[in-house]
Amino acid sequence: MKIVILDGYTENPGDLSWEGLEKLGDLTVYDRTSLTDVQEVIDRIGDAEIVFTNKTPMPREVFDTCTNIRYVGVLATGYNVVDVDAAKEKNIPVCNIPTYGTAAVGQFAIALLLEICHHVGHHDKAVHEGRWENNPDWCFWDYPLIELDGKVMGIIGYGRIGQATGRIAQALGMKVLAYDAYRNPALESETCQYADLDEVLAKSDVIALHCPLFSETEGMINRESIAKMKDGVIILNNSRGPLIVEKDLAEALNSGKVAAAGLDVVSTEPIKGENPLLKAKNCILTPHISWAPKESRQRLMDIAVDNLEAFLRKEAQNVVNF
């Protein structure tokens, strides 16, 4: 059985092992495959039966041409790069990795927030440049420093990752207002309550996005929703870039309506030079790395192997297109 991984480098730049998949078939791993050249994708898949992709697109043409494909594994949670309808028509299951990065993504959301509150990286650089040594005062800071205790974090999307972020926020002394289509009363407490969206927007000092990208959530952070927020709100997004209308957020940052934003995702990735957030005030941007600690990537690898083993037993799991 031939197994092809189209873009393995991001998942495994060399610090993990492909051994689990090597045991299941004749494995070929490509570090990267073109995101735009469909013929290269087709040529690399060839007569393989099992195909794994992270961000390499697999449009209908791939399924029409590579007729040996029996299974597609996505090395991520999002699977929009695969034409799942075309795969379904050919009875090919597409399986994703739904739960590997919960702790890491929640942790990263708080890391973005703490960097906004303290600008640790900036002040470390200032010390190394000699500014503390040569400062006439005992200490100095270049940005307002923010204490989180007692402040309100609004979390839009209170599933596994939202809850992970909420637990850390509460440990920092914050109160959580959670908005989600599905409410679990067992999660409510003195420091965590569900609220409708407008209440979350109006009362939160910090708003963290942890919701999926659907037609109804695309662009949900826009000029109108920002107008409902507190002056000086902080916005965090390490979920999906298109949740935010970037031009509107940039305008709000530059006007001071939004005090700061911490973003690990943008609408088009990798980011384009014309993205207005690159020149916006007080906007921290990181290159979609919330998911990437070694522990999370190992978990992803283990689930990818489990998914394929389950398929080979005719017990497919984490199937997104049937």
Q: Where in the sequence numbering do the catalytic residues fall?
A: 240, 269, 288
Q: Quick one: three-class SS letters along the chain?
A: CEEEECCCCCCCCCCCCCHHHHCCCEEEECCCCCCCCHHHHHHHHCCCCEEEECCCCECHHHHHHCCCCCEEEECCCCCCCECHHHHHHCCCCEECCCCCCHHHHHHHHHHHHHHHHHCHHHHHHHHHCCCCCCCCCCCCCCCCCCCCCCCEEEEECCCHHHHHHHHHHHHCCCEEEEECCCCCHHHCECCEEECCHHHHHHHCCEEEECCCCCCCCCCCECHHHHHCCCCCEEEEECCCHHHECHHHHHHHHHHCCEEEEEECCCCCCCCCCCCHHHHCCCEEECCCCCCCCHHHHHHHHHHHHHHHHHHHCCCCCCECCC
